[in-house]
């Protein structure tokens, strides 16, 4: 379940995730297929980073495109396995920095467990990361709306997550034009839970200092 330590794309990128569970069974199946693929192992302890584009290092540097393709194919063959779908989404977003691919797996995971806060946060994070990385021709507003919806659903399950509240505020602040009132309310709720939350503090500072962030 999401909590204040399970932050969004701008706050928490987990690179301690046990990607070998997803990658491993895809490669193993290709070499010598058993009767059925193994379910991924439980996630390892995660380590935070600061940006969706931050290099993951370690295991991520050892992944080849072929390894990832095989793992995705193996997980695609298990569409009713929540854990496989969720972990593949985590690997694609948090390690391989492929949020567009990650969305598909998070969406499957959420369809299987609609009130799983971590899967909802992952779906929000992936859409948020796409919105941040899209070019000027891309429909960032649509992605921000998708991220906002996922974060709001996550907060229905785990309402005391400062990280998710800060991300929610960012989805309102990044709109064109921004919805200052809703952004400020989310940032302030985040800071009430975690006064040191960097994203919320920065968001409030931006609202107060930039001319384009004006009350409607």
Cα–Cα distance between 190 and 168 in angstroms, integer? 10
Structure confidence by residue, pLDDT tens digits, 96-129: 999 999 999 999 999 999 999 999 999 999 999 9
Cα–Cα distance between 140 and 127 in angstroms, integer? 9
Task: Match 């992952």 to its residue by tokens.
Answer: 122
To which CATH superfamily is domain 19-209 assigned? Answer: Tetratricopeptide repeat domain (1.25.40.10)
Confidence of residue 160 (pLDDT cuts 50, 70, 90): very high
Q: How many helices (H) and strands (E) does the chain have?
A: 10, 0
Helical pair 99-112 and 82-90, crossing angle rounded to 10 deg: 160
Point out the least confidently predicted range of 19-23, 37-41, 102-106, 173-177: 37-41
Question: What pLDDT does 152 receive?
Answer: 98
Q: Which two tokens mark 116?
A: 């799983």
Cα–Cα distance between 207 and 216 in angstroms, integer? 12
Please state the rounded mean pLDDT for residues 22-51. Answer: 33
Please state the rounded mean pLDDT for residues 162-171. Answer: 97
Q: Which two tokens mark 16?
A: 């301690």
Please state the rounded mean pLDDT for residues 52-78. Answer: 71
């Amino acid at each position: 379940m999401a909590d204040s330590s399970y932050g969004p794309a701008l706050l928490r990128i987990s690179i301690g995730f046990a990607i070998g569970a997803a990658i491993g069974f895809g490669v193993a199946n290709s070499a010598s297929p058993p009767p059925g693929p193994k379910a991924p192992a439980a996630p390892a302890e995660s380590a935070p980073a600061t940006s969706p584009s931050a290099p993951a290092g370690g295991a991520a540097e050892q992944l080849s495109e072929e390894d990832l393709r095989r793992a995705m194919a193996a997980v695609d063959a298990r569409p009713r396995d929540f854990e496989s779908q969720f972990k593949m989404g985590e690997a694609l977003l948090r390690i391989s920095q492929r949020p567009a691919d990650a969305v598909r797996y998070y969406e499957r995971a959420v369809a299987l467990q609609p009130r799983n806060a971590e899967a909802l946060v992952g779906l929000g994070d992936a859409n948020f990361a796409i919105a941040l990385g899209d070019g000027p021709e891309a429909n960032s507003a649509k992605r921000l709306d998708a991220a906002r919806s996922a974060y709001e659903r996550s907060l229905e399950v785990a309402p005391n997550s400062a990280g998710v509240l800060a991300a929610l505020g960012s989805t309102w602040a990044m709109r064109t034009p921004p919805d200052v009132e809703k952004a400020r309310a989310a940032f302030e709720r985040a800071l009430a839970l975690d006064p040191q939350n960097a994203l919320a503090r920065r968001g409030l500072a931006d609202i107060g200092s930039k001319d384009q962030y004006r009350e409607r």
